[in-house]
Chains A and B, each alone.
Chain A
């Protein structure tokens, strides 16, 4: 409809579902991903990888390969002298106060390969195919050693992944008050025990990892183009710990990145290898993983085995919780691996409940598998799955309704701030409201009628709930530093106002699907009143952006956005002084709103762009008092974690003949704090839920007893497809974060954290006539069919 109004600028500030700035280039094929880059004179690299899970390298012969067409150079571990190993970013201490075992992680294997896919040589050639052909001609003789898995790593006499790590034990850590927990259990009416596994997952971002090393011998400048969520972190880790390149000679560029979900946080050996080798041959080197390599070498996620015990009184009040977990680290310690099953997991075991005594102990073990590290949610999905399954089992064992037992134990709105017995202090939340909204949206009350209708069709229908909480907005530097983090976790933002009033934002966060170029621009529209199309966000290049920590732990808005707000506060403060000068008023009398400076109570105004121009063309300017220019940088270190939470409800239907579980409905009601762009938040939740449903029903990384990766391709590892999923209904209920200026909490991980237990609770509910207490993930047709069929056989035998 033609309204006759031209160029009406739609509201693009906080709360608007603005369409994304990013989309046009992605939809037109003009995205700029690492593998799209081609440097002049570029060579290509292929890694020779161990086919064995655990083997000594008896001999390595590269002579034949070196003579193959197009081969430029071949390097092995023996060539990589004088450089360090890939470091781990978080030091964990054992129960007795001693530090964890931290064996070196060499760039190329030194004498021994420790998982299928461990790199033993790199072959560089003119084309990718030539490199690949030559890699096949590298002859490696292996003395094969026994594979080490989660089932045998801690067994006395087990083969050692690292000769100097006795018992394959990385650490034996604990948190909480053991005596208080034991006292709670001694007085309990009920003790509910559950053993469960959190299945190992393979992240599978659609863009395979890629890295290009480039070196300019005339300046000594190194450049690494890489698929990273945090280019400055990679520069710091690789420059300072592996290759000894000072920051001013090392640039790391993470251009468009095709999904990460945690797997692109970590510093990988391929990044160091191509950077190091590019300087040796003085030519650029590109490496791009094929999907098989992604499966074999991207850090995997989850992989916990736990025993959980909950003590309750006669009313179903939670008295105490005891959790013992074994967590798989894989063969080497990846960047944040050690923090995941400790401070990102056990600190979450209070959940949304007032359990007064909690004690958790975690053994981290080395195995001959690829390293395990953060994957969407990182520790928090493991805690949530354990707790929300345990609560459902407690309801079943005590005979208390599963909603009622949750309500009886919820932290109440007037109990915030709430100090848990496992270190965290929650600032805000309203679990009763998200529960009620979820029950209504999912039509919980009408479920039994739907169950009966399904039954009439020969289907088993079940409904499941999870009321969850997570901690994100990672993280207060002093707090995490005291807990072993080897870095600060603040974020940085620069607001560069240009002379005519447009704005470029430089942020240390990185967007790889989250839509930061849109959401962060909305913050600028809102605070400075600058039109949306006059704001651009720059990220992902250490030569352009100040030192920031990147994107993970749902931190970009809560930490990175807060840094931008601080920087914009500085911009406004300076601009007010300039405006006061121009309008001959006192700075205290100058107000700023909607992009306009006004002398309070008068019609004297100056537009934001006028002030910007004055700052850069300072002809009439208080030059003795104020510097020219209008650009400010702020670092924001959060005061606390943020605590999103909510209610997820899954409804499933099982076909008894096949054991197939079909998702029929999924409802998510999440409190993510203030919502900047509802469209993007909804998309983040939907995507997270899909990964959670994938974990619950479809996905499992499987290693054979010989350490071979059996689920090593998209034909073996069941990634959710469109027809595996149902529409996901998403709603938000906002309580504001009390300690950051935006009141935001974070939305990137909630979907993957809240959903798996809701799905499994629904599956168990659907199977209730078969007396099923627990089903481990994934609830595959074979597993479900066996439960139904086995139960029928038992019934027939009785």
Chain B
């Protein structure tokens, strides 16, 4: 069976996988990083989004062998080592942007990538369009959009905290 070597949340792993093993299966079953979720089988819901070499990616449609040598960040690796939440995590909490929590890891990872790729800032409509690949059944997205808007202010250094970004 193929061997995959990759860095996950700063830690190197070398894992034997089947050729058909998906990245999400490697993360959840081999590394027991169960924060990354599987919500669908057609690459539509985005619950499985992780960062691979700094880009958001749906781990449910990525073969594990395809990320050999890559650096992966999952939701478990987003907060600082001392436990300080990433501004996006903090904003989701501040703005009640999660309910059941199942879509949340993928939603947060997508949102971080979306904001990072747009240092010029995103309008409300652009945030909504940027979430095209992530489904949430609980919140109606209203508070997710508000949270991302607040987090982008902090991530781009325009505000000190997500609470301060509140109107």
Interface-side segment among B51-59, B62-70, B99-107, B150-158? B99-107
In Å, the complex CA distance between A20 and B141 comes to 18
Interface-side segment among A5-13, A242-250, A681-689? A681-689
Closest to B127 in A: A722
The answer to whether B132 has its CB under 8 Å from any CB of chain A is yes
Interface centre among A256, A682, A727 (most CB of B within 10 A): A727
The proximity string for A residues 183-207 relative to B, scoring 1 for CB distances below 8 Å and 0 otherwise, is 0000000000000000000001111
The answer to whether B131 has its CB under 8 Å from any CB of chain A is yes
In Å, the complex CA distance between A208 and B89 comes to 24
Interface centre among A28, A292, A719 (most CB of B within 10 A): A28
The proximity string for A residues 22-56 relative to B, scoring 1 for CB distances below 8 Å and 0 otherwise, is 11111111110101101000000000000000000
Residues of A within 8 A of B159 (CB): none
The answer to whether A680 has its CB under 8 Å from any CB of chain B is yes
The answer to whether A508 has its CB under 8 Å from any CB of chain B is no
* Contact between A683 and B141, CB atoms less than 8 A apart: no
* Contact between A129 and B132, CB atoms less than 8 A apart: no
Contacts A19-B94, A27-B85, A206-B39 given; does A33 touch B144 at CB 8 Å: no
* Contact between A33 and B102, CB atoms less than 8 A apart: yes
Interface-side segment among A436-444, A491-499, A512-520, A769-777? A512-520
* Contact between A687 and B75, CB atoms less than 8 A apart: no
The answer to whether B14 has its CB under 8 Å from any CB of chain A is no
Chain B residues numbered 38-63 whose CB sits less than 8 Å from any CB in chain A:
38-42, 44-45, 47
Interface centre among A27, A690, A720 (most CB of B within 10 A): A27
- Shortest Cβ distance from residue A441 to the other chain B in the assembled complex, whole angstroms: 15
Interface-side segment among A257-265, A348-356, A524-532, A595-603? A257-265
The answer to whether B72 has its CB under 8 Å from any CB of chain A is no
In Å, the complex CA distance between A512 and B129 comes to 27
Contacts A259-B100, A714-B45 given; does A29 touch B139 at CB 8 Å: no
Residues of A within 8 A of B98 (CB): 23, 26-27
- Shortest Cβ distance from residue B156 to the other chain A in the assembled complex, whole angstroms: 21
The answer to whether A290 has its CB under 8 Å from any CB of chain B is yes
The answer to whether B140 has its CB under 8 Å from any CB of chain A is yes
- Shortest Cβ distance from residue A792 to the other chain B in the assembled complex, whole angstroms: 31
In Å, the complex CA distance between A259 and B137 comes to 8
* Contact between B136 and A206, CB atoms less than 8 A apart: yes
Contacts A27-B85, A513-B101 given; does A722 touch B35 at CB 8 Å: no
Chain A residues numbered 707-742 whose CB sits less than 8 Å from any CB in chain B:
713-715, 719-723, 725, 727-728
Residues of A within 8 A of B37 (CB): 33, 206-207, 258
* Contact between B33 and A29, CB atoms less than 8 A apart: yes
* Contact between A31 and B102, CB atoms less than 8 A apart: yes
* Contact between A721 and B132, CB atoms less than 8 A apart: yes
* Contact between A26 and B139, CB atoms less than 8 A apart: no
Closest to B105 in A: A29
Residues of A within 8 A of B74 (CB): 29
Contacts A514-B99, A722-B141 given; does A29 touch B75 at CB 8 Å: yes
The answer to whether A478 has its CB under 8 Å from any CB of chain B is no
Contacts A722-B132, A723-B125 given; does A691 touch B137 at CB 8 Å: yes
* Contact between A24 and B131, CB atoms less than 8 A apart: no
- Shortest Cβ distance from residue B75 to the other chain A in the assembled complex, whole angstroms: 4
Residues of A within 8 A of B45 (CB): 206, 291, 714
* Contact between A256 and B137, CB atoms less than 8 A apart: no
Residues of A within 8 A of B135 (CB): 206, 714, 719, 721
Residues of B within 8 A of A30 (CB): 35, 76
Chain A residues numbered 663-703 whose CB sits less than 8 Å from any CB in chain B:
679-680, 682-683, 686-691
In Å, the complex CA distance between A261 and B100 comes to 11
Chain B residues numbered 85-111 whose CB sits less than 8 Å from any CB in chain A:
85, 89, 92-94, 96, 98-105, 108
* Contact between A259 and B99, CB atoms less than 8 A apart: yes
Interface centre among A23, A204, A691 (most CB of B within 10 A): A23
Q: Which of B28, B75, B127, B140 contacts A690 (CB 8 A)?
A: B140
Closest to B135 in A: A719
* Contact between A686 and B143, CB atoms less than 8 A apart: yes
Residues of A within 8 A of B47 (CB): 206
Interface centre among B20, B39, B142 (most CB of A within 10 A): B142
Q: Please classify how large the interface on chain A is, using the bins under 10, 10 to 19, 20 to 34, 35 or more.
A: 35 or more
* Contact between A727 and B100, CB atoms less than 8 A apart: no
Q: Which of B38, B101, B131 contacts A26 (CB 8 A)?
A: B101
The answer to whether B128 has its CB under 8 Å from any CB of chain A is yes
Contacts A291-B40, A514-B99, A723-B131 given; does A683 touch B93 at CB 8 Å: no
In Å, the complex CA distance between A751 and B137 comes to 13
Contacts A291-B40, A686-B140, A686-B142 given; does A679 touch B35 at CB 8 Å: no
Q: Which of B18, B28, B108, B141 contacts A27 (CB 8 A)?
A: B108
Residues of B within 8 A of A207 (CB): 37, 39, 100, 102
Closest to A679 in B: B96
Contacts A29-B75, A725-B140 given; does A683 touch B131 at CB 8 Å: no
Residues of A within 8 A of B35 (CB): 28-31
* Contact between A714 and B42, CB atoms less than 8 A apart: yes
Residues of B within 8 A of A683 (CB): 96, 99, 138-139, 143
* Contact between B89 and A206, CB atoms less than 8 A apart: no
* Contact between B79 and A28, CB atoms less than 8 A apart: yes
Closest to B74 in A: A29
- Shortest Cβ distance from residue B61 to the other chain A in the assembled complex, whole angstroms: 13
* Contact between A29 and B96, CB atoms less than 8 A apart: no
Residues of A within 8 A of B85 (CB): 27-28
In Å, the complex CA distance between A490 and B81 comes to 46
In Å, the complex CA distance between A726 and B94 comes to 21
Residues of B within 8 A of A36 (CB): 28, 34
The answer to whether B115 has its CB under 8 Å from any CB of chain A is no
Residues of B within 8 A of A38 (CB): 29, 32
- Shortest Cβ distance from residue A288 to the other chain B in the assembled complex, whole angstroms: 8
Closest to B146 in A: A727
Chain A residues numbered 238-279 whose CB sits less than 8 Å from any CB in chain B:
256-259, 261
In Å, the complex CA distance between A477 and B104 comes to 37
Residues of B within 8 A of A514 (CB): 99
Closest to A259 in B: B100
Closest to B21 in A: A129
* Contact between A20 and B131, CB atoms less than 8 A apart: no
- Shortest Cβ distance from residue B42 to the other chain A in the assembled complex, whole angstroms: 5
- Shortest Cβ distance from residue B52 to the other chain A in the assembled complex, whole angstroms: 16
* Contact between A20 and B143, CB atoms less than 8 A apart: no
* Contact between B101 and A31, CB atoms less than 8 A apart: yes
Closest to A716 in B: B42
Residues of B within 8 A of A719 (CB): 135, 137
Residues of B within 8 A of A33 (CB): 34, 37, 102
List of 9 A-B pairs having minimum Cβ-Cβ separation, nearest first? A29-B35, A258-B102, A26-B101, A690-B140, A513-B100, A513-B99, A29-B75, A714-B44, A36-B34
A residues contacting B by CB (< 8 A) are: 19-20, 22-31, 33, 35-36, 38, 129, 204-208, 256-259, 261, 290-292, 512-515, 679-680, 682-683, 686-691, 713-715, 719-723, 725, 727-728, 751
Query: With contacts A206-B138, A258-B102, A719-B135 known, what are 12 further pairs, Cβ within 8 A?
Result: A23-B93, A27-B75, A28-B85, A29-B33, A38-B29, A205-B102, A206-B45, A206-B136, A207-B37, A513-B138, A722-B141, A723-B128
Could you list 26 examples of A-B contacts with CB < 8 Å?
A: A20-B93, A27-B89, A204-B137, A206-B135, A207-B100, A208-B38, A256-B101, A258-B101, A290-B41, A291-B39, A512-B100, A513-B99, A513-B101, A513-B138, A687-B99, A687-B139, A690-B140, A714-B44, A715-B44, A721-B135, A722-B129, A722-B145, A723-B128, A723-B132, A725-B140, A725-B141
